[in-house]
């Protein structure tokens, strides 16, 4: 059995819940990624922020990315997987919630992120294809 922790990218960078969306956008650019976890002052995961969130939920609505905080866009309970959960469960969660990146937690701590690329490198082409198809539909 392959564990989620064996697939994940370790020590993910977070955008702070009190960081502005302008700061978050620069971090997304500098890291060359499309999404980042939003972490609170307590270092707990508050949500995920995407470049699309910044555009659609702030800029397109006339908001000011220099004044809007990342935490303002954190909605609901984040979809996560446990570090010691089976990797196939991670695939199921990604498919069910149609997410391309899945935060991995150990207890209450964010310890990694599983992306579609991580899945593609670790599992069979058939499993990877099914996951991508489900997420993209």
User: Domain with 121 in it: what CATH number?
Assistant: 3.10.580.10
115 and 11 Cβ atoms separated by less than 8 Å: no
**Structural domain that includes position 66:** 4-136
Q: How confident is the model at residue 128 (pLDDT cuts 50, 70, 90)?
A: low
Give the strands of the sheet with 81-82, arranged side by side: 9-10, 109-115, 101-106, 81-82
pLDDT at residue 4 above 80?
Answer: yes
**Average pLDDT over every residue of 51-59:** 96
Total count of domains within the chain? 1
pLDDT at residue 102 above 80?
Answer: yes
């Amino acid at each position: 059995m392959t564990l989620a922790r064996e697939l994940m990218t370790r020590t993910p960078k977070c955008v702070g819940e009190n960081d502005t969306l302008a700061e978050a956008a620069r971090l997304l650019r500098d890291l060359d990624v499309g999404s980042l976890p939003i972490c609170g002052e307590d270092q707990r995961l508050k949500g995920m922020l995407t470049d699309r969130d910044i555009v659609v939920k702030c800029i397109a609505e006339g908001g000011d990315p220099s004044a809007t905080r990342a935490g303002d866009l954190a909605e609901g309970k984040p979809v996560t997987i446990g570090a010691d959960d089976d990797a196939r469960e991670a695939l199921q969660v990604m498919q069910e919630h149609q997410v391309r990146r899945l935060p991995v937690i150990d207890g209450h701590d964010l310890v990694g992120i599983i992306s579609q690329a991580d899945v593609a490198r670790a599992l069979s082409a058939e499993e990877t294809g099914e996951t991508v198809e489900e997420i993209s539909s």
